[in-house]
């Protein structure tokens, strides 16, 4: 058996190129729609964050109940975090417009913390592409500061980030689909 340099499943990718391309087109269109209407994209995303918190809270509670081998304190804390997630999730989902500022503030804090930790980690390790780690960390800090200082207007950054992410993801799926369509068939497989 000769080595072809192709990954296993390449034929399966080739067979489903239209699905990948179609998914990419849908994601790209959703991204453009989000970028065209940042307010609605922000409200919808904030609502979805509320729903995700509710689902995560339910999972936390279920884990706390089922984790019999875990200590009693761990089970109680896990359950309490689950209840808190559900309460916050319902609060966000019930009034996503009112929760935009809180979500934007949480994102700003996460970006600031993440950026600072990336810079510290990159400077401490200084291996490989550590300069890139510093650059990404600084960008995270700047984005966090921009969101923090621009609230409530910067709350629209939620919709902006989602729109850009959907558009880039869509483009990547389209590229994957077109590459899969044009991939040569593996010897011995149906064309």
CB-based contact 23:168 (threshold 8 Å) = no
CB-based contact 167:28 (threshold 8 Å) = yes
Position 9 in a domain: no
Position 60 in a domain: yes
Position 43 in a domain: yes
Position 136 in a domain: yes
Total number of domains in the chain: 1
Position 188 in a domain: no
Position 56 in a domain: yes
- Report the distance separating Cα 51 and Cα 119, nearest Å: 33
DSSP 126: -
The boundaries of the domain holding residue 50 are 17-181
pLDDT digits (tens, 9 = 90+) for 3-17: 455 555 667 778 888
C-alpha pair distances (Å), 15 with each of 136, 169, 187: 37, 21, 15
User: pTM for the full model?
Assistant: 0.71
Does a cis peptide bond (omega within 30 degrees of 0) precede residue 152? Answer: yes
Position 2 in a domain: no
pLDDT digits (tens, 9 = 90+) for 66-103: 877 767 788 888 889 999 999 999 999 999 998 998 88
pLDDT score of 6: 52
pLDDT digits (tens, 9 = 90+) for 16-56: 889 999 999 999 999 999 999 999 999 999 999 999 999 99
Position 4 in a domain: no
């Amino acid at each position: 058996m000769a080595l072809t340099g192709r990954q296993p499943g390449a034929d399966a990718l080739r067979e489903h190129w239209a699905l990948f391309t179609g998914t990419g087109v849908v994601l790209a269109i959703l991204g453009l729609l989000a970028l065209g209407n940042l307010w609605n994209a922000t409200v919808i995303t904030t609502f979805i964050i509320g729903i995700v918190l509710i689902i995560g809270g339910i999972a936390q509670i279920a884990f706390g109940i089922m984790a019999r081998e875990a200590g009693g304190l761990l089970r109680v804390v896990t359950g309490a975090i689950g209840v808190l997630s559900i309460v916050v999730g319902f609060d966000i989902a019930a009034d996503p417009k009112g929760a935009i500022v809180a979500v934007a503030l949480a994102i700003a804090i996460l970006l600031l913390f993440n950026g600072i930790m990336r810079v510290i980690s990159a400077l401490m390790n200084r291996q490989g592409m550590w300069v890139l780690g510093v650059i990404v960390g600084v960008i995270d800090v700047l984005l966090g500061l921009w969101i923090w200082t621009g609230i409530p207007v910067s709350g629209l950054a939620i919709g902006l980030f989602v729109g850009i992410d959907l558009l880039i993801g869509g483009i990547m799926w389209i590229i994957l689909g077109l590459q899969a369509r044009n991939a040569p068939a593996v010897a011995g497989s149906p064309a």
